[in-house]
A and B are shown apart, each in its own frame.
Chain A
Amino acid sequence: MSEKMKIRNPEKIKEKLAKSIEIVKEAYKKYDLKDMAVAYTGGKDSTLMLYIIAEACKEMGKELPQQFCIDEGDVFDEIIDFIKEMDIKYGTTTEYIHNSDVSQLVAGKLGAPVKVSELNDRNQKEIARLDYDKDEFPYEPESYVGNHLMKTVSVNMYIDDKKIKAFFEGIRWDEQGARESETYFSPREGNEFNLAHDRICPILHFTEREVWEAHFYADIPINILYQQGYRSLGAKVTTKKLTDVPAWLQDMENTIERGGRRQDKEGVMGRLRKLGYM
């Protein structure tokens, strides 16, 4: 990397990494290897998490769990390349999961209207559950319906299919308000749409700045997009960079991590609906 980051307190990063490694070890005691998975996105948080899982496995002499990445139909090429690189580094095989029932209707064309009536039963039921009452929605991974079908439903199908009991997820407490109540082992209740399972969140206690400090501390590879100024990675069409400054040198405390992610109309509508409007 051309522009390094100063690590304010290396001891603290070391302690945080050690804590995360303990959580991974605890997970290996709680669940069989075949019942676990890793949700990998190629982003900074899950790349740190993957490093931590690999370190824990090295210490335990265990294999890494199976690994999946959600392909919501609009992934940066740089992310796919980076995941290939990480697969080689850690000897993993990232499986791309996808809700093909939705994408095939529009031949993967972003923004094209998807007719609800042409979807399979499962997807139609999922839409009904959102109280979405229009006949069609745009094929966009970060629209209100698109996000649910292409991300949440893809993961639920994977869990059902592989009988996953717990998967690792690279979320952080400081990332967004709704995550504050998450715990290292967060149970998710089952319902008619998905099996009950646990989320294992080994890097909850890292702040955004510490994630970057950990990358430099442990020499973890960094996706080129962050070098170019992207701060948070989502679908290609809705992710913009607001500056050319590398992500780890931006003003993390006073600007918003997801500032480059677009607000979309359906997302706003979904929120208003939940509040009893519309």
Chain B
Amino acid sequence: MKNVILLTIDTLRKDVLGCYGNKDSLTPFLDSVMDKCIVFDNHQSVGPYTQASFPGILTSSYFLEYGNPQKLSANRTLVSEVVKKGGFATAGFHSNPYLCEFFGWNRGWDQFYDSMQDQVTDMVPYIAGDMINKKASDWMGNYTKQPDYKPFFLWAHYMDVHEPYVPDQGYIDKIDTSIKLTKDEMFTMFKEVLLPRDVSDPAKIELLRKLYCAHVIQVDEYVKEFFGNLETSGLLDNTVVIITTDHGDEFGDHASLSHDGKMYSELVNVPLIIHDPDLKESKRVDTVVSGVDVSPTIANLFGLDIPDNFHGQPLLPLENYKSDGCFGEAIGKLAHKVQPTDRPVHFYQEDNLRITHRIEDDKWEMYDISKDPKERDNIIESSKKSEDMKNKLKSKINWYDKGDSPVINLINF
């Protein structure tokens, strides 16, 4: 039995990684370990922002299924609780306030660091990846000192590609040496362009995208350091590392910025890579898989039973996985602040078809991802499969036919 590490990188678009076709060499380290990786080409997050997607990753459940989602419902089970109950050590290190102790995400971890007692700055409003690495590595070093230690489960999460996009000049120079902005100027872009979702100037969007990519290079270095630490401490050969994200990010792809309550590919079709030291060669998987499959995969790697309230199924071994479509849901907010009128939005994907529904304006959209990966041509009126897909989506929403969407105030938690 191996150790299992879940390494999540907040806000990571799929198209910035070399293994998904990016040609700009933003992730040279990750690209270099591909021979030991299973790469999932059709992995769907269950939501387009942290609150909506992380219940999928760590509890194999959907955002709205337990009523008010402000705090983690006691009826959800964290994968850390499953693993700890199974008699294994667990530790989590992150700096995303939505996943802090205050919201109940500290359950089941022998050690849990959420950085909320630490000071952060406006321009780097989180604890950076190098510090997350240090904490994770210190914990592993201490834990594995005991003779005959049992395998452990560790979760580390980097925030560094998340807005406000104020990278160091060294990383910017690797993207475009002509960009000479002070940090104040970058921060002003965040406040005056990104927060108001102002997409009127394509040059500014491109600039924001480049600043974002500069952070991607930085994060690849953190991943390199993380793997380096594993190698130095002799853990790499007996550890499975699952690398994924909670959601992508938008740079004008569908007329906005950041990651709001929309279900397009740039936000929910995200990276999922499993690094397994025993893999003989790189593998690609094109089956549609989901964020809710991550926790069952982890439980299964420890030989533990999958709790009844987990919706997903183990991804490994690959041959046992039966795809039955992917579902996701969120509150359909379209600005950085939630409005009282915002209502849920849902998606369902099966093979190459993705259908979405916004309750607020009863808008249905359907795209054939294989022919129209950028989701420009809505085929809901023209496709023969629309009714079938609508019914499948509806069947996933247990309260749907009551005609009453939960009114969720995301501000007053």
- Please report A residues at the B interface, Cβ cutoff 8 Å: 176-180, 253-256, 258, 261, 263-265, 267-268, 271-272, 274-278
**Chain B interface secondary structure, helix, strand, loop or mixed?**
loop
What is the minimal beta-carbon distance from B260 to any residue of chain A, in angstroms? 10
The docked-state distance in angstroms from the alpha carbon of A263 to that of B128 is 20
Look across to chain A and name the residue whose beta carbon is closest to the beta carbon of B118: A176
Tell me, yes or no, whether B255 is within 8 Å of chain A by CB: no
B413–A265 CB distance below 8 A = yes
What is the minimal beta-carbon distance from A253 to any residue of chain B, in angstroms? 6
Contact with A along B99-135 (1 / 0, CB 8 A): 0111100000001010111111110011110010001
Tell me, yes or no, whether B258 is within 8 Å of chain A by CB: yes
Which residues of the partner chain A approach B87 to less than 8 Å between Cβ atoms?
A: none
Which residues of the partner chain B approach A253 to less than 8 Å between Cβ atoms?
A: 138, 142
B116–A271 CB distance below 8 A = yes
Tell me, yes or no, whether B291 is within 8 Å of chain A by CB: no
A176–B97 CB distance below 8 A = no
B413–A276 CB distance below 8 A = no
A265–B128 CB distance below 8 A = no
B116–A177 CB distance below 8 A = no
Which residues of the partner chain B approach A275 to less than 8 Å between Cβ atoms?
A: 97, 125-126, 159, 162-164
A274–B411 CB distance below 8 A = no
Q: Which of A178, A263, A276, A277 contacts B127 (CB 8 A)?
A: A178
Tell me, yes or no, whether B98 is within 8 Å of chain A by CB: yes
Q: Which 9 A-B pairs have the closest CB atoms?
A: A274-B125, A177-B127, A176-B118, A271-B97, A177-B131, A258-B117, A263-B102, A178-B119, A177-B118
The docked-state distance in angstroms from the alpha carbon of A263 to that of B117 is 7
Look across to chain A and name the residue whose beta carbon is closest to the beta carbon of B116: A263
Which residues of the partner chain A approach B322 to less than 8 Å between Cβ atoms?
A: none
Which residues of the partner chain A approach B380 to less than 8 Å between Cβ atoms?
A: none
B131–A263 CB distance below 8 A = no
B101–A263 CB distance below 8 A = yes
Which residues of the partner chain A approach B336 to less than 8 Å between Cβ atoms?
A: 276-278
A276–B190 CB distance below 8 A = yes
Which residues of the partner chain B approach A271 to less than 8 Å between Cβ atoms?
A: 97, 116, 120, 125-126
Look across to chain B and name the residue whose beta carbon is closest to the beta carbon of A271: B97
Which residues of the partner chain B approach A254 to less than 8 Å between Cβ atoms?
A: 111, 139, 142
